[in-house]
Amino acid sequence: MTARILVLGCGNPSRGDDALGPALVARTRDWLAQHPGREVRLVEDFQLQVEHALDVLDADLTLFVDADASCNAPFCLRRAMPERDASYTTHELSPEAVLHAARVVTGRDPPPAYVLGVRGERFELGEPLSPAASGHLEAAWDELMELLDDPRPSAWDARAAGW
Amino acid sequence: MTHVLETAAHPRALRRVAIEPLTRVEGHGKVTILLDDQNRVHQARLHIVEFRGFEKFIQGRPYWEVPVLVQRLCGICPVSHHLAAGKAMDMIAGVRQLTPTAEKLRRLMHTGQMLQSHALHFFHLASPDLLFGFDSDPDRRNIIGVVREHPDLAIRGVTLRKFGQEVIRHVAGKRIHGVACIPGGMNKALTIEERDELRKQTPQIIRWCQDAVRTCRDLLEQCEHAPIFGVFPSNFLSLIRKDGALDFYDGGLRARDAQGGTIFDHVDYTRYNRYIHEEVKSWSYMKFPFIINLGDEDGWYRVGPLARLNNCDFVDTVFAEHERQIFREAANGGMQHATLAYHWARMIEMLHAAETIERLLDDADITGTDLVVHGERQSEGVGVIEAPRGTLFHHYKVDENDMVVRANLIVSTTNNNQAMNEAVRNVCASYLDGNKLTEGLLNHIEVAVRAFDPCLSCATHALGRMPLRVELVDAEGQVIDCMVKESDGTCVSQTP
C-alpha cells in the first residue's frame, strides 16, 4: 500500500522569507498536478495549531515545511518527535508540540514526522523572498523531490543523517 | 477613569520587571512594572514592541486586491480583515446592498470564524488558568495539562475549532488565502453538498457549545478570584443591529458608559472618525482610541465579547439569549465589569455562532447563485465588523487609477489597548503590591491580558524565533537578573 504523505507548510506569503513554506507547498501542488496518482495531501496555514494533530493522525508520514531563522543554510531536515515544549503557551505550536498533542489525544505515538526547515533571513511585512532565501528554496525543493520519491521513514532518516 | 499607575512619579528610583513576550498571547507584547525597594508598584504598562506598518503595506495596491491582501496581516483572524476590507470595498464599488445570498454567505463565513476563534481561546488558552488555578504549577497549567486531565474538554475544543474552519473552507473554497469576498458580493456559491456536509454536524456542535457555556460559568463560580479580579468600570463600544440585537457583521455603533447609559447609539459607522480619535503615547507603538466627546482621560472603552453582551438588548437565537439573560442577571441587570466575564461572554457568543450557522444553513438563500451587484465607483470606503476580539475598522481612499492612496485600520486589540492597560494596573495593585514576585503572581497579569484574547500578531512564525525574556533592572538601569526561555522550552540564566 502506498504511504499517505502529509506535507504541512507554514508561513505568511506576505512576510518576506516567511513565504518559504507556502512557496514549497504551491510548487508541490503544481508538481502533483503533473504527476497524478501520488498519495500526497497538502495543508497550508499561517502557523501550526492543535487541530493539525488531527491532520497528522490521518497520514502515514508527515513533512512539516517552514522557514527557519536559526538553521544552517540552505535547509535542515530532521526527525521530529513528540515533545512538550514552551510553544504550548502561545497561539502557535512547534511541530514537536503538534505531535505531542496527537499522542496525548490518541494515547499512542503518531506516525513518523520530519521537519524541512528552510533558512530565512528577513521577515518584514510586504517584502518578497530575499535573494538568499530564493536560493535556499531551490535547494529545499530538490530535497523535497528526493523525499517524495522515496517516502519511507528509513530513507528519510538516512537523508536527515546526511547520507 | 484616570490612569492611576500609568506613569510613576520618580521612575529612576524604582526597579523594573519586564515580562516579554506574554505567553498565550499572539504577537510581541511586553509588560513592565516599576517597583520600589519594598516591592510597591509605582507604574505598570502593557507595551507593544513591534511596529506593524499595516497601512503602508496596503497603500499603492489596487482596491479589489485589498480583501485578499489584508488576510495576510494576521494569521489569527484573517477572515475578519477579509470581511472588513470587503465591506469597505463594497462602498468603493458603489454597492449599498448585497444580494441576500452574498450577505448570508459572508455572515456564515464570519460566524465560522467567530466559533473557531472563541473555541481556541477558551479551550486552549484560557481554560488552563481556570481549571488549575492562576498560580498552579506551570508544568500543569497548559493545554497538555488540559488534554491529560480533561481529555473530553480538550478534544471538543479541537473539534469545535475544526468545524468553524470547515465552515470557512466551504464558503471560501480554502481555509486561508480564500477569495470569497469581492467588491459588491461573493466569488463562490455554496453547493448543496457543502451545505449538507456542514448541516449534519450542527446539532452536535450546538450541544457542545451549550456545555461549554455551562463549563465556563461553573469554572468562574468556583474561581476564588472571579468576583474581584480585574474588575474596573469602563465604557463599552460595539456594533448593534437596528432592533438592538447582537450582530457580528453589520449595524450601527453603540457606546454605553459604565452604568449602562447611552453615549451614542446607531451611529453610521462610516462616520466613525467623528466619534473616535486615536491618541499616541511615547511608550507604545499601539495607539489609544477614545470617544471624542468624553476626552482621552475618560473616553477609552472596551470592545469584544464583554462589550457586545453588555451593549446588546437581546440575542436573536434561543439558547444564547437564555444564557445572555443569566449573564446579565449575574450583574443585577447592570453592566458586567469583571475581566474574567470576557470568557463567559465569549462562550455565549460561541453558542450564538453555532445556532446562527445552523439557521443560515437552513435558509434557502444560502445556496443561491446571485452573488454580485455593481454600482457607481466611489473614492472612499469604510468597513466595520465585530471581529472575535472586538470592533474592527477598515477605512480606505482610492485614486482615479483604482489604487489605494490612504488606509486606516483600527484593529480590535488597539480598541482594547487602554482597557488592557487598566486591567494590568488593577491586577498589579491588587496582587503584586508589596508582595514578592513569583511566577504565579506574574501569571496573574498574563491572565488579565489574556482575557481580552489580544492579537498583536503579524503572522510571522518562522521556526527558532520568539524567545521569552524576563529582565530585572535596578534603580540605576542596570540589568541585575535575566532569564531567557528559548522557543524549544529550555531556560537559560543570563545573569550578568
Q: Residue B24's domain spans which residues?
A: 11-50+423-493
Spatial distance between the Cα atoms of B95 and B100, rounded to a whole number of angstroms: 13
In a domain, B226, yes or no: yes
Longest dimension (CA), chain B: 69
Tell me the nearest-neighbour CA distance from A92 into chain B, angstroms: 8
Phi/psi at B134 (5° precision):
-65, -35
In a domain, B405, yes or no: no
Q: What is the pLDDT along chain B (496 residues), one digit of tens a residue?
A: 446 666 666 666 666 666 655 554 445 567 777 777 777 777 777 776 555 677 888 899 999 999 998 888 777 788 999 999 999 999 999 999 999 999 999 999 999 999 999 998 888 778 888 887 777 777 766 666 776 777 788 788 888 988 999 999 999 988 777 789 999 999 999 999 999 999 999 999 999 999 999 999 999 998 888 888 999 999 999 999 999 999 999 999 999 999 999 999 999 999 999 999 988 887 777 789 999 999 999 999 999 999 999 999 999 999 999 999 999 999 999 999 999 999 999 999 999 999 999 999 999 999 999 999 999 999 999 999 999 999 999 999 999 999 999 999 898 988 999 999 899 888 888 887 666 667 777 778 878 888 888 776 544 444 444 344 545 555 555 555 555 545 444 555 565 5
Shared-domain flag, residues B334 and B461: no
Residue A23 contacts B, CB cutoff 8 Å: no
**What pLDDT is recorded for position B427?**
85
Confidence band for A86, pLDDT divided at 50, 70 and 90: low
Q: How many CB atoms lie within 10 A of CB B170?
A: 22
Question: Average pLDDT of chain A?
Answer: 90
Instruction: Give the one of A68, A86, A105 whose C-beta lies nearest to B463's C-beta.
Output: A68
Sign of CA dihedral B363, B310, B319, B167: positive
Tell me the nearest-neighbour CA distance from B5 into chain A, angstroms: 28
| DSSP code string of chain A | ----EEEEEE--TTSGGGGHHHHHHHHHHHHHHHSTT--EEEEEESS--TTHHHHHHT-SEEEEEEEESSSPSSEEEEEE-----GGGGSSS--HHHHHHHHHHHHSSPPPPEEEEEEE-----TT----HHHHHHHHHHHHHHHHHHHS--HHHHHHHHTT-
CATH 3.40.50.720 fits A5-160, yes or no: no
Chain A residues touching residue B459 (CB < 8 angstroms): 12, 15, 18, 46-47
Residue A58 contacts B, CB cutoff 8 Å: no
Shared-domain flag, residues B216 and B306: yes
CB contact under 8 A, A66 and B463: yes
Shared-domain flag, residues B221 and B72: yes
| Stretch A139-154: mean pLDDT | 96
Residue B18 contacts A, CB cutoff 8 Å: no
In a domain, B468, yes or no: yes
Phi/psi at B416 (5° precision):
-90, 5
Q: Whole-structure pTM over 0.90, yes or no?
A: no
Shared-domain flag, residues B19 and B69: no
Which of A42, A43, A51, A98 to probe the B interface (max B CBs under 10 A)?
A: A51
Chain B segment 95-154 residues within 8 A of A by beta carbon are 120, 124-125, 142-144, 147-148, 151, 154
Shared-domain flag, residues B352 and B433: no
* Residue B54 CA neighbour count, 13 Å, CB half: 25
CB contact under 8 A, B176 and A45: yes
Shared-domain flag, residues B206 and B331: yes
**What pLDDT is recorded for position B28?**
56
**What pLDDT is recorded for position B176?**
77
Shared-domain flag, residues B169 and B310: yes
Spatial distance between the Cα atoms of B364 and B190, rounded to a whole number of angstroms: 11
Shared-domain flag, residues B345 and B444: no
Shared-domain flag, residues B333 and B444: no
| Stretch A28-42: mean pLDDT | 93
**What pLDDT is recorded for position B459?**
40
Phi/psi at B320 (5° precision):
-65, -35
Residue in A closest to B77 by C-alpha? A46
Q: What is the CATH number of the domain that holds B202?
A: 1.10.645.10
Tell me the nearest-neighbour CA distance from B27 into chain A, angstroms: 9
Asked if residues B57 and B75 have their Cβ atoms less than 8 Å apart, the reply is no
Spatial distance between the Cα atoms of B40 and B33, rounded to a whole number of angstroms: 10
In a domain, B284, yes or no: no
**What pLDDT is recorded for position B2?**
43
In a domain, B329, yes or no: yes
How many separate domains does chain B show? 2
Shared-domain flag, residues B364 and B435: no
Cβ-Cβ contacts under 8 Å for B222 (sequence gap 6 or more): none
Instruction: Give the one of B124, B461, B487 whose C-beta lies nearest to A46's C-beta.
Output: B461
3-class DSSP assignment, residue B181: strand
**The cell 459588491 sits on which residue?**
B184
Chain B residues touching residue A44 (CB < 8 angstroms): 176-177
CB contact under 8 A, B460 and A12: yes
Shared-domain flag, residues B133 and B33: no
- Tell me: the pLDDT tens digits for A48-62? 888 898 899 999 999
**What pLDDT is recorded for position B471?**
54
E strands, B346-454, in order: 380-387, 390-398, 404-410
In a domain, B242, yes or no: no
Spatial distance between the Cα atoms of A67 and A61, rounded to a whole number of angstroms: 20
Sign of CA dihedral B211, B80, B255, B429: positive
**What pLDDT is recorded for position B495?**
56
Residue A13 contacts B, CB cutoff 8 Å: yes
CB contact under 8 A, A14 and B57: yes
| Stretch A19-25: mean pLDDT | 96
Shared-domain flag, residues B358 and B226: yes
**C-alpha distances out from residue B117 to A133, B46, B78, B99, B458, Å:** 32, 23, 11, 27, 16
The set of cell numbers assigned to B297 is 482621560
In a domain, B398, yes or no: no
**What pLDDT is recorded for position B429?**
83
In a domain, B386, yes or no: no
Spatial distance between the Cα atoms of A41 and A58, rounded to a whole number of angstroms: 10
